């Protein structure tokens, strides 16, 4: 073993080749990556000056024991030069997401925030939206949750009576719908409101979402007085009702309003060896709620002071969260950070100034206290769940009398087969590790070249494909970097388990790892039987067993994952596609598109002009199809 792998080694033990490469680095912005002797990535970082930044890791006196531990393991490094620090920031975070380095604080890539969308068409409509935004329509957000979007939509319906129906429904109405009857829509579909007045309501709704509530109220007041002076009392009454609803909303939110500000509030809390980051969003002066994040790899930073860890977590969150997200002009933090290079890179990306506030006053201070309290509550709940999860893992290990050295590293993989009468057969593999399901490690396997409906052949194929890399043969050395689970669950009885056993025997692997989960009478949870292949008798753990509840959870997750994959594959095979998700593309238009272009792949490759050539496809709809299928 090289000295670079010795935990007690010093930076002096760094391989000469690495030091020579450091000495030759340019004074340019870029990204650096450290690897250990097994070629596993240790850390990814960015720098305004690669030579200065990377050289700082190889000093004799390192301030952090954590950094010293990492440097002692460095066997080689790679660098990529970029044109600017902003480019380096983007590349760094893309690599962090892809490589998941051991010494980077990682946040799960969960950034699919919803928006409220107001379309730009003759009669605009509002709708809930997730995905990439464009300049064609108006987008408001992002919102921290679907609930926040729907609450805002309900407000707009109540105050401005905007339509929310799909275009196909709107175009075919002959009388007002129920929403008009309960005074939630002005019924533009049947011309109960003029196009000019409806567009005015849309403009007012947009201003309201941007935080210009007072301006909207003043405009409505003037509009009501004009109607009254012209003796148009019915129209004046409608506007009066709008003003009343808006005033009520403003009164309810009086403690939240702060002009038309867009602000994010970020609070970090550490406890019990874990961290929680709570992000609250204010858009247009309205507090829209919050969302909590739990970074991983925090345990590696425990040698440092809590204050330093808090700063590291905050900087990591800001870098990873805002790299491809909307960045408001003001961010309120409960931890004071000093990261000028990061903020300059973010400002270069978003092209506007970003102000960090660490000691807000009045309403903003209350928001920060709320965010910090939310983080503490979320962390306490997570720690409680973590304790319960650890007890379940221990119960499983004890119940099956497994020889597990480190319970924290205990890994289970579960396999299931799914198909519809032999069509679109898929196998799923889900992973339980670190006391929780690891969604990012799930895998699906397309099963080919078998008799449709032959579950045994499908199980044989997936087990062989998953574990062939561990085979012990005379010609090949097993892949030492691959991860072998401590337990392999098979969703099935003796037949499926026997197939898995045969594959393991062929590969020269330990068959005692295989456990089958045979369904009980009526498929009820708690009546399952565990089937072994190494001579152990079958075992029934009983309804009250925490171990069986964990096994059932893992098994059910494998079943769910297999079914969703099978349905998606079946839908694709039947030429059902993303077209179904596009408003305005009904069954007839979808069939015309698929017929004209020979399938979904042809539609995806078609230009806007090609799409417009299909009967019933306007330019606006063609552009929408083109964008959604990119």
Whichever domain contains 84, its CATH number is: 3.40.1440.10
8 falls in which pLDDT band (50, 70, 90)?
very low
Task: Using the 3D structure, point to which of 228, 252, 276 is the last residue of a domain.
Answer: 252
| Number of domains the chain contains | 5
Q: What pLDDT does residue 412 have? A: 93
Res. 264 pLDDT band, cuts 50 70 90? very high
> Within a domain: residue 393?
no
Does one domain contain both 568 and 468? yes
Tell me: do 291 and 175 sit in the same domain.
no
CATH code, domain with 282 = 3.30.420
pLDDT of residue 524: 63
Cα 313 to the chain's mean position, in Å?
A: 19
Q: Which of 222-231, 263-272, 299-308 has the highest mean pLDDT?
A: 263-272
Same domain assignment for residues 356 and 502: no
For residues 414 and 561, the answer to whether their CB atoms sit within 8 Å is: no
Residues 161 and 205 in one domain: yes
Does residue 510 register a pLDDT over 70?
yes
Query: How does pLDDT run across 562-581, given as a tens digit for each residue?
Result: 887 666 655 555 444 567 77
Domain of residue 466, CATH code: 3.30.420.340
Determine the pLDDT at residue 569. Answer: 57
Based on the domain organization, do 418 and 545 belong to the same domain?
yes
Give pLDDT, residue 290: 84
Does any domain span residue 582?
Answer: yes
Name the residue range of residue 623's domain: 576-628
Same-domain check for residues 568 and 585: no
Going by the DSSP 8-state scheme, the letter that residue 539 receives in this structure is: B
Residue 375 has which token pair? Answer: 């983080």
Q: Say if CB 262 and CB 283 are below 8 A apart.
A: yes
- Among the residue ranges 46-50, 120-124, 469-473, 496-500, the one predicted with the least confidence is 469-473
Judge whether residue 246 has pLDDT over 70. no
Residue 253: count of CB within 10 angstroms of its CB: 14
pLDDT grade, residue 32 (50/70/90)? very high
pLDDT (0 to 100) of residue 501: 92
281 confidence band (pLDDT: 50, 70, 90): confident
Asked, for residue 429, whether it belongs to a domain, the answer is: yes
Q: Does 536 have pLDDT greater than 70?
A: yes
| pLDDT, mean over the chain | 81
Query: Does one domain contain both 520 and 561?
Result: yes
Tell me whether residue 398 is in a domain. no
* Any domain includes 392: no
Is 592 found in the same domain as 528? no
Q: Assign 12 a pLDDT band (cuts: 50, 70, 90).
A: low
Could you please report the per-residue DSSP string of 201-243?
HHHHHHHHHTT-HHHHHHHHHHHHHHHHHTT-HHHHHHHHHHH
Between these two residues, 134 and 565, which has the higher pLDDT value? 134
CATH code: domain of residue 589: 1.10.150.20
Which of these ranges, 399-403, 498-502, 571-575, 599-603, has the smallest mean pLDDT? Answer: 571-575
> Which of 415-419, 431-435, 525-529 has maximum average pLDDT?
431-435
302 pLDDT above the threshold of 60: no
Predicted confidence (pLDDT) at residue 257 exceeds the cutoff of 50: no
Q: Does some domain include residue 257? A: no
Looking at the structure, tell me whether residues 423 and 568 fall in a common domain. yes
Same domain membership, residue 508 and residue 491 = yes
Q: Which residues have a Cβ under 8 Å from the Cβ of 138 and sit 6 or more positions away?
A: 117, 118, 119, 120, 206
Among 545, 572, 599, residue at a domain's last position: 572
74 pLDDT higher than 70: yes
pLDDT value for 153: 85
The model's pTM is: 0.57
Q: Is residue 241 part of a domain?
A: yes
Whether 252 shows a pLDDT value over 80: the answer reads no
Q: Same domain, yes or no, for 528 and 611?
A: no
pLDDT for 129 equals: 86
Phi, psi for 511 (deg, rounded to 5):
-75, -15
pLDDT for the residue 88: 85
477-485: average pLDDT: 63
């Amino acid at each position: 073993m090289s000295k670079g792998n010795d935990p007690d080694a010093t930076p002096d033990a760094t391989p000469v080749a690495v030091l020579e490469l450091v000495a030759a680095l340019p004074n340019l912005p870029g990204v650096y990556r450290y690897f250990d002797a097994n070629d596993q990535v240790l850390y990814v970082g960015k720098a305004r000056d690669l030579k200065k930044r990377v050289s700082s890791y190889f000093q004799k006196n390192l301030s952090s024991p954590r950094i010293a531990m990492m440097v002692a393991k460095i066997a080689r490094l790679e660098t990529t030069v970029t044109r600017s620090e902003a480019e380096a920031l983007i590349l760094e975070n893309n690599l962090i997401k892809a490589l998941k380095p051991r010494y980077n604080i990682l946040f799960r890539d969960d950034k699919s925030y919803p928006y409220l969308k107001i379309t730009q068409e003759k009669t605009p409509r509002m709708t809930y939206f997730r995905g990439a935004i464009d300049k064609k329509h108006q987008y408001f957000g992002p919102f921290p949750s679907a609930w926040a979007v729907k609450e805002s939509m309900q407000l707009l319906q109540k105050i401005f009576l905007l339509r929310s129906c799909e275009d196909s429904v709107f175009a075919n109405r002959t009388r007002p719908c129920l929403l008009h009857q309960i005074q939630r829509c002005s019924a533009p579909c049947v011309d109960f409101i003029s196009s000019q007045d409806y567009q005015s309501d849309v403009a007012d709704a947009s201003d309201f979402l941007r935080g210009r509530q007072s301006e909207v109220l003043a405009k409505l007041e003037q509009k009501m007085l004009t109607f009254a002076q012209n003796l148009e009392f019915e129209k004046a009454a409608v506007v009066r009702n709008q003003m009343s609803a808006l005033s009520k909303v403003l009164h309810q939110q009086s403690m939240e309003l702060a002009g038309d500000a867009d602000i994010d509030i970020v609070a970090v809390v550490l406890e019990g060896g874990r961290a929680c980051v709570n992000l609250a969003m204010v858009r247009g002066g309205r507090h829209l709620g919050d969302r909590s994040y739990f970074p991983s790899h925090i345990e590696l930073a425990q040698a440092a002071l809590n204050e330093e860890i808090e700063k590291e977590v905050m900087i990591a969150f800001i870098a990873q969260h805002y790299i491809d997200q909307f960045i408001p002009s003001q961010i309120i933090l409960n931890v004071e950070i000093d990261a000028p290079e990061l903020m300059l890179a973010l400002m270069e990306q978003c092209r506007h100034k970003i102000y960090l506030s660490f000691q807000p006053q009045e309403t903003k201070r209350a928001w920060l206290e709320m965010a910090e309290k939310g983080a503490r509550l979320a962390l306490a709940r997570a720690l409680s769940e973590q304790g319960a999860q650890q007890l379940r893992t221990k119960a499983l290990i004890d119940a099956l009398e497994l020889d597990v050295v480190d319970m924290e590293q205990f890994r289970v993989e579960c396999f299931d087969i799914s198909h519809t009468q032999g069509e679109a057969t898929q196998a799923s593999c889900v992973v339980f590790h670190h006391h929780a399901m690891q969604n990012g490690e799930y895998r699906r396997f397309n099963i080919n070249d078998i008799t449709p409906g032959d579950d045994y052949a499908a199980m044989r194929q997936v087990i062989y494909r998953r574990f062939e890399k561990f085979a012990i043969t005379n010609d090949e050395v097993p892949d030492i970097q691959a991860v072998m689970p401590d337990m392999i669950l098979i969703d099935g009885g003796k037949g499926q388990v026997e197939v898995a056993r045969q594959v393991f025997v062929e590969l020269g692997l330990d068959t005692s790892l295989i456990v089958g989960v045979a369904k009980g009478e009526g498929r009820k949870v708690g009546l399952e039987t565990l089937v072994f292949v190494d001579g152990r008798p079958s075992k029934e753990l009983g309804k009250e067993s925490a171990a069986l509840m964990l096994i059932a959870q893992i098994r059910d997750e494998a079943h769910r994952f297999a079914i969703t994959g099978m349905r998606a594959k079946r839908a694709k095979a039947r030429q059902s596609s993303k077209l179904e998700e596009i408003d305005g593309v009904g069954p007839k238009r979808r069939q015309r598109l698929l017929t004209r272009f020979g399938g979904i792949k042809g539609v995806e490759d078609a230009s806007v002009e090609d799409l417009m050539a299909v009967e019933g496809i306007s330019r606006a709809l063609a552009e929408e199809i083109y964008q959604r299928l990119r």
